Amino acid sequence: MPELKAEFVTLQVSDGTAMRAFVAQPEGRDKLPGLLVFQEAFGVNEHIRDVTQRFAREGYVAIAPELFHRTAPPGYEGSYADFQSVMPHVMALDDKNLEADIRAAHNALLQQNAIDAHRIACVGFCMGGRLSFLANLILPLRAAISFYGGGIAKSERGPGLLGRVAETHGPIFLFWGGLDKHIGPEQREAVGKALRDAGKTFVSLEFADADHAFFCDARPSYNKVAAERAWALSLAFLKSNLE
């Protein structure tokens, strides 16, 4: 098991704001692939930091930006038991600012001495699953992974991102929970159809007996079998696209 360096850094965003990010990487290695890790709606909490470090142990320089930095103090962590308390931060997000945040985190990766700038990918969970899709539209990424990303397809929450699907860069792996009431089959199918019609490379996988947030071992919806299989598939997908 490699020794890890893990720390919070402060990034400057193009709109003049400052954003903290959690960075983890193996010690004493270079020419490593980079990975953007996008949070759930609960901040860069213990779970997201753990996932970021898990990827670092697999040989990535991984960075998880705090996307609520305009409305919440540094280090903000919402409660899984009180979703309403995080909603003001979620509702305050807009794609223009999020794109600036994504670019700031990407630039921070490029500045790492250990990075191979030609091998960068992203992964995101829930809210971050949508952000992973968005990052793959605006950055020259080699691959993207989206776990149950709500808001990619058009819904009551907004127009979604499928109108921009032609801008997709790297292949994308989409994980869904078959029991997920937040993202119904019509949305999942719309994402696949848009990518297929645009001639993009993608994998869309539904775990029939898994619910929303099945990957998060800190939440009641955690599904150990689905999470372990999704982790193994994620590592294989990244490896095959970042070699």
Question: Residues 106, 126, 211, 216: which is the catalytic one?
Answer: 126
- SS3 label, residue 53: helix
Instruction: Give the helix ranges, DSSP H, for the chain.
Output: 46-57, 83-91, 95-110, 127-138, 185-197, 224-242
Closest CA to 218 of 208, 229, 227: 227
Give the type of residue at 232: A
Catalytic residue, from 47, 89, 106, 212: name it.
212
Burial class for 232, CB neighbours closer than 10 Å (0-12, 13-18, 19+): exposed
Q: Please pick, among 180, 197, 211, 216, the residue that the annotation labels catalytic.
A: 180
Instruction: Give CA–CA dist 242/232, Å, rounded.
Output: 15
Does the active-site annotation cover 122? no
Q: Please tell me the distance from the alpha carbon of residue 192 to that of residue 194, in angstroms, as a whole number.
A: 6
* 126 classed as catalytic: yes
Active site residues: 126, 180, 212
